[in-house]
Amino acid sequence: MNTALIIAGETHESQNPLLPASYDILWGGLSFVILFWLFWKYVLPIFNKVAAERTEKIEGGIEHAKRVQAEAERSKQSYSDQLEEASKEAAAIRTHAHSEGEQIVNEARDQATRTAADIAARADAQIQAERDSAVGSLQRDVSELALQLASKIVGESLTDDERARATVDRFIAELESTPAGGSDG
Q: Per residue in 128-154, pLDDT tens? A: 999 889 888 887 887 777 777 777 776
Q: What are phi and psi of 163, to 5 degrees?
A: -65, -40
Do the Cβ atoms of 164 and 143 come closer than 8 Å?
no
pTM tops 0.85: no
Among 43-47, 71-75, 145-149, 155-159, the least confident range: 155-159
Is residue 10 predicted with pLDDT exceeding 60? no
Do the Cβ atoms of 168 and 143 come closer than 8 Å?
yes
Sequence ranges of the domains in the chain: 22-177
Q: What is the pLDDT of residue 145?
A: 79
The b/e string for 118-134 (b: 16+ C-beta within 10 A; e otherwise) is eeeeeeeeeeeeeeeee
